[in-house]
Amino acid sequence: MRICSLLPSATEIVGRLGLTGSLVGVSEECDWPAEVRELPVVTASRADPTSLTSAQIDAAVRDAVAGSHSLYVLDEALVAELAPDVILTQDLCTVCAVSGDEVATLCPIGAQVISLNPMTLEGIACSVETLAERLGVVDRGRQVAGEMRAAIEDVRRTVEARPIRRIFVAEWVDPPFAAGHWLPEMVTAAGGEDVLGQAGEPSYTVTWDEVRKLEPELVVVAACGFDAQRGAEEAEGIDVPVPTVTVDANAYYSRPAPRVAEGVRQLGYLLHPEICDDPGLPAVYGTSRRTAETTPRTAKPAA
């Protein structure tokens, strides 16, 4: 089977299912497992995020949506040359990948198009099982999804008797976006409450004034598509009177794939370090009025 993935989370799931060797093409953002970086790249963003600020990226996305065109360019000729049997994409977010409808229109090559659109933690686990079934590895899919569910439940049980910590998760910085989809569920599982997050719903713009008025104990910056260091650079000027911590959203929060369970483990540690172990994921601690410094894994969270 020849698989072309236009979606980083789908590529990650394919890797966890043990089918990395079946991938023949990936998107520009696909970076895990590491070996997929050597594969032909069949999509590219119209806006280079490495050269733009958060505000500029937001403006580019809004322009694309307003103009009813995709944020991504699909190399139709390369896809045809690669001759995939299956193309993996999504219809959940215009910012994440070329949609299933666009793929069917642009690449009428007879490949099966599978669109993954989870909006909750359970939806992510189910998408793993669904894709595994479609790709002929049902048992492996059940195993991967089961491990994800078990890891999240382990954190939930560990923190269930602890006081709930009120936090704000920023899914974008300029402008700030309150978290949606599965992210508020991640906070809940870790023993917290996201003061503006809406589980199972799209993220949405807010203001830092709104955040300050709700008086969260901690601001977690999980900027969609950014790692911890890039997110911290964008968050350096945040003006809130509470500690901040920037996490690797690209790997452990934004992508609807099994590694969100590791993000839940990290949130458990950030909110309840007295009972939750540090999973050792990247984090940058700081406050809004000083330059954040990368904190060693052994350091305690700013709380």
- Asked whether residue 130 is assigned to any structural domain, the reply reads no
Q: Which residues contact 138 (CB under 8 A, 6 or more apart)?
A: 129, 132
- Asked whether residue 159 is assigned to any structural domain, the reply reads no
Q: What percent of the chain has pLDDT over 90?
A: 74
Same domain, 104 and 176: no
User: Rounded to an integer, what distance in angstroms lies between the CA atom of residue 3 and that of residue 88?
Assistant: 8
Q: Residue 150: its pLDDT value, please?
A: 98
- Asked whether residue 95 is assigned to any structural domain, the reply reads yes
Give this prediction's pTM.
Answer: 0.89
- Asked whether residue 129 is assigned to any structural domain, the reply reads no
Q: Which residue among 84, 117, 150 closes a domain?
A: 117
Same domain, 213 and 99: no
Same domain, 229 and 288: yes
Average pLDDT over residues 156-167: 98
- pLDDT by residue (tens digit) across 282-302? 999 986 443 333 333 333 454
Same domain, 37 and 101: yes
User: Rounded to an integer, what distance in angstroms lies between the CA atom of residue 199 and that of residue 195?
Assistant: 11
Three-state DSSP at 161 gives coil
Q: Which residue among 82, 117, 152 closes a domain?
A: 117
- pLDDT by residue (tens digit) across 257-290? 999 999 999 999 999 999 999 999 999 998 644 3
Q: Residue 267: its pLDDT value, please?
A: 98
- Asked whether residue 12 is assigned to any structural domain, the reply reads yes
CATH of the domain at 15: 3.40.50.1980
* Phi, psi angle pair for 45, to nearest 5°: -75, 145
Q: Residue 69: its pLDDT value, please?
A: 62
Higher pLDDT, 161 or 49: 161
Q: What percent of the chain has pLDDT over 70?
A: 85
Confidence check: pLDDT of 49 > 80: no
Same domain, 80 and 172: no
Amino acid occupying residue 102: E
Q: Residue 53: its pLDDT value, please?
A: 86
Q: How many domains in the chain?
A: 2
- Asked whether residue 131 is assigned to any structural domain, the reply reads no
Q: Residue 90: its pLDDT value, please?
A: 81
**Residue 5: strand pairing partners:** 88
- pLDDT by residue (tens digit) across 92-141? 555 545 544 555 555 556 789 999 999 999 999 999 999 999 999 999 99
Confidence check: pLDDT of 210 > 90: yes
- Phi-psi group of 140: left, alpha or beta (phi > 0 → left; psi -120 to 50 → alpha; rest → beta): alpha
Same domain, 97 and 197: no
- Asked whether residue 67 is assigned to any structural domain, the reply reads yes
Same domain, 207 and 263: yes
Which sign, positive or negative, has the C-alpha torsion 231, 94, 73, 36? positive
CA-based radius of gyration for the chain: 19
Same domain, 104 and 179: no
**86-89 and 72-74 strand pairing:** unpaired
Same domain, 170 and 288: yes
Structure tokens at 290: 């000083």
Same domain, 174 and 259: yes
Same domain, 111 and 169: no
Residue 179 burial by Cβ neighbours in a 10 Å radius (0-12, 13-18, 19+)? buried
Same domain, 178 and 241: yes
Residue 197 burial by Cβ neighbours in a 10 Å radius (0-12, 13-18, 19+)? buried
Residue 60: which domain range? 3-117
Q: Which residue among 117, 138, 172 closes a domain?
A: 117
Confidence check: pLDDT of 194 > 80: yes
- Asked whether residue 138 is assigned to any structural domain, the reply reads no
